[in-house]
Amino acid sequence: MFKIFKLTESDNFAILLDLPANIEFLIGQGLAMMDTKQSQHGEWSSRFAFILAATGSAVGLGNIWKFPYITGENGGGAFVLVYLLCVLLIGIPIMIAETMLGRRGKQCPINTMEVLTKEAEADPNWHYLGWMGMIAGFLILSYYSVIAGWAGAYVLKAFTGSFFGSDAVAIKSQFDEFLASPIKLIFWHSLFMLATMLVVVRGVQSGLEKAVRFLMPSLFLLLLIMVGYAMTTDKFYFQGLNFLFTPDFSKLTANGVLTAMGHAFFTLSLGMGAIMVYGSYLPKNVSIAKTAMLIAGTDTVVALLAGIAIFPIVFANNLHPASGPGLIFETLPIAFGNMHGGWLFGVLFFIMLVFAALSSSISLIEPAVAWLIENKNMSRETACIWSGSAAWGLGLATIFSFNAWSSFKIFDRNMFQLLDYLTANLMLPIGGFCIAVFAGWIMKQQHSEQELQLTDANQYKLWKALVCYVAPGSVFLVFLHVVGVL
């Protein structure tokens, strides 16, 4: 909308006298108008909606299923400390960068990186960063859905009293029998993937936003109930909290540091296209930096609460914290089966796990859906069907790795372990490294300043230092150490 003003002779004379300044002003206004592009998929209705959605993407199986068992495998407190440092010095700066790239591009990660690469007049190969992110998210979704299916199955098991009076041998036998049945795994995997597709097909505000508005508050409430129960056990203070928060660096290895860094990326949904595509739906008047710090803080609190809820129960029942991916499926059911009201707590816990998984899975499939809509002219319904079906099909490899293909290994890992290691420990850190380099070194400073809108120049300088030097340098040094160079 343009307004027409009547100018007097004195006005015209003033404009002529200050012609360079006025030309500069008009050019600035023109650039601002050109930068008001909108995502064709819609926008979040508010900053709160984005926070819920991005937190939902971050808070998932990584916090409640993965964080406890990798903490158990890597010695507890020392691993937690390294993980927190990774979130603070690497995760938050890169989350700010990835959100910023998404909002500036206003498209799926692949198209966003193509646009921003041209805008920065950079090497066109940078657009492959978008491809790597989308592929990483897609691979994670394929096995994520399978694990979420386990949680769905265990909701039913808890409700029907399958854990009642069972000892460790009986519970492990139940879990092994469940994994040995491809039919059961496929059923629950299919059910979860269908639920994911039904949410995503409804779009940004009607689907993604409405889902997280229900899922996230429910998740927090259920988690707090579980923490409350853990506090009633006799192992809460002296073993549970001690294991989680007392560092023992003799138990921490170089691979453990890599795992902590990879998990910081995994749990914050960095490098997998999810935060970038969610950022593309973010309105211009929202502070990226403040929002990213709030999301990272909430995600970290949830991970720690999950550990606080789980480890006291593990120790109270004389179970081993380093039980691997099956920790919450092989250990917690023993506790639920022998505690007063255990069936209720079991149902609540596994429902919480399903909610956490769903809030993340919808963000993992969204980049692929957005790409198909933008590049293949598909409707959202068709794009969801194609993306969901492909991820479902790839998930069969994870399912069969626990039974029919259990003897088939690559680099001494089955298909599930290989996909998990490839994505969480390699693709996500590499993707995060590249995001940091692009945002800090390739993207023009005036563009990053325009997107971040930081009123304090020192805040921008701090972010710039972290994203240019600390974050990529840390990732690079850890990789050198793991491969034996350092």
Q: Is the pLDDT of residue 9 over 60?
A: no
Asked if 192 contacts 357 with a C-beta cutoff of 8 angstroms, the reply is yes
Asked if 316 contacts 137 with a C-beta cutoff of 8 angstroms, the reply is no
Q: Is the pLDDT of residue 30 over 70?
A: no
pLDDT tier at 19, thresholds 50, 70, 90:
very low
pLDDT tier at 16, thresholds 50, 70, 90:
very low
pLDDT at 464: 96
Bridge partners (DSSP) listed for residue 413: 410
DSSP secondary structure, 85-134, as one string: HHIIIIIHHHHHHHHHHHHHH-S-HHHHHHHHHHHTT--GGGGHHHHHHH
Rounded CA separation 122/72 (Å):
44
Q: Is the pLDDT of residue 210 over 90?
A: no
Q: Is the pLDDT of residue 155 over 50?
A: yes
Average pLDDT over residues 290-306: 89
pLDDT at 91: 92
Give the rounded distance of the alpha carbon of 227 from its chain centre: 23
Rounded CA separation 323/305 (Å):
19
pLDDT at 18: 47
Least confident piece of the model among 48-57, 91-100, 115-124:
48-57
Asked if 366 contacts 56 with a C-beta cutoff of 8 angstroms, the reply is no
Opening angle at CA 421, ends 426 and 110, nearest 5: 50
pLDDT at 35: 52
Asked if 33 contacts 273 with a C-beta cutoff of 8 angstroms, the reply is no
pLDDT, tens digit (0-9, with 9 covering 90-100), for 70-109: 888 888 899 999 999 999 999 999 999 999 999 999 999 9
pLDDT at 113: 96
Average pLDDT over residues 243-270: 85
pLDDT at 53: 78
| Residue % of the chain over a pLDDT of 90 | 43
pLDDT at 486: 58
Q: Cβ–Cβ contacts within 10 Å for residue 16, how many?
A: 9
pLDDT, tens digit (0-9, with 9 covering 90-100), for 172-208: 899 999 999 999 999 999 999 999 999 888 877 777 7
pLDDT at 1: 41
Q: Is the pLDDT of residue 13 over 60?
A: no
Q: Is the pLDDT of residue 32 over 60?
A: no
One-letter amino acid of 218: S
pLDDT at 82: 93
Bridge partners (DSSP) listed for residue 410: 413
- Of 219, 56, 74, 61, which Cα lies nearest the Cα of 143? 61
- HSE toward the beta carbon, residue 394, CA cutoff 13 A: 18
pLDDT at 25: 39
**pTM for the model:** 0.84
Rounded CA separation 207/116 (Å):
28
pLDDT at 5: 42
pLDDT at 68: 84
Q: What is the mean pLDDT of the chain?
A: 84
CB-based contacts of 203, cutoff 8 Å, min separation 6: 41, 42, 380
pLDDT, tens digit (0-9, with 9 covering 90-100), for 436-485: 999 999 999 999 999 998 888 899 999 999 999 999 998 887 777 656 66
Q: Is the pLDDT of residue 336 over 60?
A: yes
Average pLDDT over residues 43-52: 76
Q: Is the pLDDT of residue 15 over 90?
A: no
pLDDT at 484: 61
